């Protein structure tokens, strides 16, 4: 037998810190749930994106958010008791396994390994298996130590054991293009396999040594086919039972669950449910449950479900009807946030508003009925709690009752991108490259000017009745005569796409924007000159919004490859620091009512709130040493010219210091730079690599710390 030693310098991760940003919509949280497990009729756990772990002790009626030590995607949850369980996750090019023995209050890191795939299964609190790509490992002490049992011919996608001897694993056969099901009857010492004509097997379930099901899929160009197979001979042969196929991605199964050999359920990516009550001989297509992707069965009647946007459902009739259990509203295309005061705020999206009158404790959905079948809100402005305007893909509309009813104010305008009032009477809105103005509190509007040098105007702000700024595709423009004429501004000679403008007075302001290259620019002289404040980590991101509650503290939020980011400055933008934020979904708007009370708006109506100014301090937290060596993927990547590399050094048994070298090599293996070459005590470190004088291309960075060696690739543009 081949043995693989996995270093497990176990430590208790500190997670008792004060929150800076908390979820307001939905609650308890809005990250996508990727796995769910019912442990008993009352207790269950679910895990998901960005280090999300939630728990119920009320039979699925209420769910609470648990603290987890790493911001990684958690893809598997497995509990053997109400207090003892594991979650498996992935971050960058590494996979992780964490264990809890106190029902999720604290977590122990047990695995930190370079791999692409990970799956877990435990029979009891001691005996379990884990897969790391093609390697299968076994533990007899609850995950403290692991022994490699075998290396299979396929990367392993799922594991299940019915007892200590009978088990199955699945994986994709890259040679044949199909998949394989492996079976063992001696606890994993030896394996036999059967080939299945599926490109990928995502899940396998067995109830005894004979009867089981698997769920998988075939994919082609614009074609998806999800299928369920059943075996009655321990996995030696398989019969197809259910096929769901078509030309759209929603023909993809995301979960399968059986409560007995008769009752089973399959969920698709769009929330479509299939149910069998006769062991899969027949499958009934049920109703579409919005955003449902995962399901767990207590018995033949009681089900818990979860999925996108952190939704939670329960069913008491075997999946015939479902009841939503988490609080909050989901509104697609929510890109606009308006903060009126400490109590009243609005967000807008696809044919709906979200409104709060209590500082965000609750958000109510208001369906905007304006007689249009396709209306998305791009801008919101309220003069007070009753009188306001929305603009979007269908024109400009006004309310006098706080947003519950709307009337059209302008004709023959198909799209409005922003609205701004400088006082109670004077306001503007922009449509394409055109400006429209009101001087009677919005009762009437007239065309003012067409500034065709900006292809599409996206944002505007006036600092006085005379002076204003507007930006959009291809640049920034400025007016000093109430919007009658505008001059083109090219800050630092840059001709960039402007996504947001924020002035705190007539002299001091910021603009953010860019597409392939991002920019944060600041002026302190009313736009006469601009200083570039870009942070290296924001270089390949897309800033969407900027807000300064005061002259020193500011926020920039946005997205990078569909992942959200939040940056904060406490010195007027000289230094920007990335904030550890509760979600990595795309973010669109940030706004504050005062220096302490603020909101950030994300995709789908995700809303997070701070009452501490967004920055708080950790008090009386004992610093813990890392448990294992760890080298992160550089960020940003690709980069130009600066990137950052983080690594972790664990505490050593005999020597508190470790000799660490971190070097950069080119594609031919030539040493380019030495970033670290010294003894380091246990801890977390970050180094900066500046490639300003190097040609574009592929480079490698290699760390050696004691016996630990790891190499990663990075791309210089």
Cβ-contact 132, 76 below 8 angstroms: no
Give domain status of residue 240, yes or no: no
Q: What is the CATH number of the domain that holds 697?
A: 2.60.40.1930
Cβ-contact 307, 268 below 8 angstroms: no
Give domain status of residue 549, yes or no: no
Q: What's the pLDDT at 5?
A: 34
Q: How confident is the model at residue 537 (pLDDT cuts 50, 70, 90)?
A: low
Q: How confident is the model at residue 628 (pLDDT cuts 50, 70, 90)?
A: confident
Last residue of a domain, one of 116, 151, 186: 151
In this prediction, what percent of the chain has a pLDDT beyond 70?
A: 94
How far apart are alpha carbons 704 and 717 in whole angstroms? 26
Distant-in-sequence, close-in-space partners of 683: CB < 8 Å, separation ≥ 6: 625, 626, 648, 649
Where is average pLDDT lowest: 78-87, 605-614, 648-657?
648-657
Q: What's the pLDDT at 638?
A: 83
How far apart are alpha carbons 104 and 86 in whole angstroms? 9
Where is average pLDDT lowest: 9-13, 180-184, 306-310, 401-405?
9-13
pLDDT over 60 at 554, yes or no: yes
* Mean pLDDT score of the chain: 90
How far apart are alpha carbons 599 and 102 in whole angstroms? 33
Give domain status of residue 146, yes or no: yes
Give domain status of residue 65, yes or no: yes
pLDDT over 90 at 689, yes or no: yes
Q: What's the pLDDT at 427?
A: 97
- The parent domain of residue 134 ranges over 30-151
pLDDT digits (tens, 9 = 90+) for 557-578: 998 777 899 999 999 998 888 8
Give domain status of residue 341, yes or no: no
In this prediction, what percent of the chain has a pLDDT beyond 90?
A: 71
How far apart are alpha carbons 534 and 556 in whole angstroms? 11
Q: What's the pLDDT at 3?
A: 34
Q: What is the CATH number of the domain that holds 99?
A: 2.120.10.30
Residue with tokens 């209590």: 358
Vertex 679: Cα angle to 676 and 681 (nearest 5)? 110
DSSP state of 357: S
Q: What's the pLDDT at 2?
A: 32
Q: What's the pLDDT at 479?
A: 97
Cβ-contact 182, 193 below 8 angstroms: yes
Token readout for 158 is 């799922």
Q: What's the pLDDT at 572?
A: 95
How far apart are alpha carbons 545 and 513 in whole angstroms? 9
How far apart are alpha carbons 437 and 423 in whole angstroms? 13
How far apart are alpha carbons 202 and 257 in whole angstroms? 12
Per-residue three-class SS string for 8-50: CCCCECCCCCCCCCEEEECECCCCCEEEEEECCCCCEEEEEHH
Residue with tokens 């109506």: 605
Give domain status of residue 688, yes or no: yes
Q: What's the pLDDT at 652?
A: 52
Last residue of a domain, one of 134, 151, 168: 151
pLDDT digits (tens, 9 = 90+) for 236-259: 999 999 999 887 777 899 999 999
Cβ-contact 664, 701 below 8 angstroms: yes
pLDDT digits (tens, 9 = 90+) for 276-298: 999 999 999 999 999 999 999 99
Q: What's the pLDDT at 538?
A: 66
Q: What's the pLDDT at 223?
A: 83
Q: Residue 96: which of 163, 17, 13 has the closest Cα?
A: 13
How far apart are alpha carbons 369 and 40 in whole angstroms? 44
Count Cβ atoms below 10 Å from residue 441 Cβ, excluding itself: 14
DSSP state of 74: E
How far apart are alpha carbons 231 and 210 in whole angstroms? 7
Q: What's the pLDDT at 717?
A: 80
Q: How confident is the model at residue 380 (pLDDT cuts 50, 70, 90)?
A: very high
How far apart are alpha carbons 250 and 675 in whole angstroms? 47
Q: How confident is the model at residue 156 (pLDDT cuts 50, 70, 90)?
A: very high
Q: How confident is the model at residue 710 (pLDDT cuts 50, 70, 90)?
A: confident
- What is the domain count for the chain? 2
Cβ-contact 160, 168 below 8 angstroms: yes
Question: In sequence order, what E strands does 269-331 have?
Answer: 272-276, 284-288, 292-297, 303-307, 312-315, 323-324
Cβ-contact 617, 19 below 8 angstroms: no
For CA atoms 251, 252, 254, 257, the dihedral sign is positive
Please list, residue by residue across 405-424, b when 16 or more beta carbons sit within 10 angstroms of its beta carbon and e when fewer do: ebeebbeebeebbbbbbbee
Distant-in-sequence, close-in-space partners of 189: CB < 8 Å, separation ≥ 6: 1, 149
Sheet holding 200-206, edge to edge: 200-206, 212-220, 223-231, 239-246
- Is residue 671 classed exposed, middle or buried when 0-12, 13-18 and 19+ CB atoms within 10 A define those classes? exposed
Count Cβ atoms below 10 Å from residue 689 Cβ, excluding itself: 21
pLDDT digits (tens, 9 = 90+) for 406-442: 999 998 898 999 999 999 999 999 999 999 999 999 9
What is the Cα gyration radius of the chain?
28
Last residue of a domain, one of 114, 136, 151: 151
Is the bond preceding 636 in cis, omega lying within 30 degrees of 0?
yes
| Mean pLDDT within 601-612 | 95
How far apart are alpha carbons 8 and 137 in whole angstroms? 14
Element (H, E) at 526: none
Distant-in-sequence, close-in-space partners of 28: CB < 8 Å, separation ≥ 6: 54, 63, 64, 65, 310, 326
Complete DSSP assignment for 189-213 = SS-EEEEES-SEEEEEEESSSS-EE
Give domain status of residue 678, yes or no: yes
How far apart are alpha carbons 341 and 661 in whole angstroms? 53
Q: What's the pLDDT at 650?
A: 82
Cβ-contact 224, 268 below 8 angstroms: no
Sheet holding 323-324, edge to edge: 292-297, 303-307, 312-315, 323-324
Where is average pLDDT lowest: 306-310, 313-317, 372-376, 387-391?
372-376
Q: What's the pLDDT at 1?
A: 31
| Mean pLDDT within 150-165 | 96
Q: How confident is the model at residue 64 (pLDDT cuts 50, 70, 90)?
A: very high
Give domain status of residue 74, yes or no: yes
Q: Which residue has the higher pLDDT, 626 or 666?
A: 666
Vertex 10: Cα angle to 8 and 16 (nearest 5)? 145
Q: What's the pLDDT at 13?
A: 37
Question: In sequence order, what E strands does 575-670 have?
Answer: 577-578, 587-592, 598-602, 606-610, 630-631, 642-649, 657-665
Q: Residue 692: which of 716, 671, 715, 674 has the closest Cα?
A: 716
pLDDT digits (tens, 9 = 90+) for 44-62: 999 999 999 999 999 999 9
At residue 461, the 3 state secondary structure works out as strand
pLDDT digits (tens, 9 = 90+) for 318-328: 999 999 999 99
Question: Which range among 363-367, 460-464, 621-625, 633-637 has the greatest average pLDDT?
Answer: 460-464
Token readout for 462 is 């006036």
pLDDT digits (tens, 9 = 90+) for 649-675: 886 533 457 789 999 988 777 889 999
Q: How confident is the model at residue 632 (pLDDT cuts 50, 70, 90)?
A: confident
Where is average pLDDT lowest: 126-140, 263-277, 325-339, 666-680?
666-680
Q: Which residue has the higher pLDDT, 372 or 394?
A: 394
| Mean pLDDT within 190-205 | 96
């Amino acid at each position: 037998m081949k043995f693989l030693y996995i270093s497990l310098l176990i430590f208790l991760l500190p997670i008792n810190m004060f929150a800076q940003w908390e979820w307001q919509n939905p609650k308890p949280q809005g990250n996508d749930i990727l796995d769910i497990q019912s442990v008993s009729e009352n207790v269950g756990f679910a895990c998901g994106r960005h280090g999300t772990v939630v728990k119920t002790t009320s039979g699925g009626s209420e769910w609470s958010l648990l603290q987890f030590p790493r911001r990684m995607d958690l893809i598997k949850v497995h509990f053997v008791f109400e207090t003892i369980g594991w979650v498996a996750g992935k971050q960058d090019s590494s996979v992780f396994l964490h264990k809890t023995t106190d029902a999720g209050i604290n977590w122990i890191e047990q695995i930190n390994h370079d791999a692409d795939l990970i799956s877990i299964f435990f029979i009891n609190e001691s005996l379990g298996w884990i897969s790391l790509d093609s390697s299968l490992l076994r533990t007899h002490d609850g995950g403290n130590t692991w022994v490699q049992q075998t290396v299979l011919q396929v990367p392993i996608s799922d594991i299940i054991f019915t007892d200590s001897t009978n088990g199955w694993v699945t994986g994709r056969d890259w040679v044949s293009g199909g998949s394989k099901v492996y079976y063992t009857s001696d606890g994993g010492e030896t394996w036999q396999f059967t080939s299945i004509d599926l490109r990928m097997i995502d899940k396998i379930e067995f109830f005894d040594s004979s009867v089981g099901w698997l769920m998988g899929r075939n994919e082609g160009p614009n074609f998806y086919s999800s299928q369920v197979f059943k075996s009655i001979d321990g996995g030696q042969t398989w019969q197809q039972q259910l096929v769901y196929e078509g030309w759209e991605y929603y023909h993809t199964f995301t979960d399968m669950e059986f409560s007995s050999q008769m009752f089973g359920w399959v969920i698709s990516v769009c929330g479509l449910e299939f149910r069998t009550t006769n062991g899969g001989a027949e499958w009934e297509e049920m109703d579409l449950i919005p955003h449902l992707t995962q399901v767990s069965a207590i018995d033949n009647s009681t089900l818990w479900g979860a999925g996108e946007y952190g939704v939670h459902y329960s069913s008491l009739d075997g999946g015939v009807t479902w009841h939503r259990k988490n609080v909050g509203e989901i509104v697609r295309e929510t890109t606009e946030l308006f903060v009126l005061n400490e109590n009243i705020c609005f967000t807008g999206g696809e044919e709906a508003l979200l409104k709060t009158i209590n500082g965000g404790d609750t958000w109510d959905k208001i369906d905007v009925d304006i007689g249009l079948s396709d209306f998305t809100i791009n801008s919101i402005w309220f003069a007070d709690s009753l009188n306001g305007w929305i603009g979007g893909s269908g024109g400009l509309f006004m309310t006098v009752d706080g947003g519950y009813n709307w009337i059209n104010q302008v004709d023959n305008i198909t799209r409005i991108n922003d609205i701004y009032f400088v006082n109670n009477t004077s306001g503007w809105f922009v449509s394409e490259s055109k400006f429209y103005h009101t001087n009677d509190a919005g009762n009437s509007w007239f065309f003012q000017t067409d500034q065709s040098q900006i292809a599409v105007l996206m944002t505007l702000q006036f600092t006085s009745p005379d002076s204003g700024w507007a930006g959009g595709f291809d640049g920034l423009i400025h007016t000093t005569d109430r919007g009658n004429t505008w001059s083109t501004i090219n800050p630092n000679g840059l001709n960039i796409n402007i996504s947001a403008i924020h002035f705190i007075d007539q002299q001091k302001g910021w603009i953010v924007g860019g597409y392939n290259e991002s920019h944060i620019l600041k002026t302190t002289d009313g736009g006469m000159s601009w200083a570039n404040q870009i942070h290296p980590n924001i270089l390949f991101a897309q800033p969407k919004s900027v807000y300064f509650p005061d002259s020193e503290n500011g926020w920039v939020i946005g997205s990078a490859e569909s992942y959200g980011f939040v940056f904060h400055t406490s010195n007027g933008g000289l230094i920007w620091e990335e904030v550890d934020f509760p979600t990595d979904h795309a973010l669109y708007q940030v706004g504050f009512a005062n220096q302490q009370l603020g909101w950030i708006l994300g995709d789908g109506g995700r809303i997070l709130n701070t009452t501490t100014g967004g920055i708080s301090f950790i008090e009386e937290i004992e610093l813990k040493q890392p448990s294992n060596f760890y080298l992160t993927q550089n960020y940003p990547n690709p980069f130009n010219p600066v990137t950052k590399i983080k690594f972790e050094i664990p505490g050593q048994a005999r020597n508190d210091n470790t000799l660490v070298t971190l070097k950069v090599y080119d594609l031919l293996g030539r040493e380019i730079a030495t970033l670290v070459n010294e003894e380091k005590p246990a801890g977390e470190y970050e180094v900066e690599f500046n490639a300003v004088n190097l040609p574009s291309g592929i480079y490698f960075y290699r760390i050696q710390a004691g016996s630990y060696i790891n190499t990663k690739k990075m791309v210089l543009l």
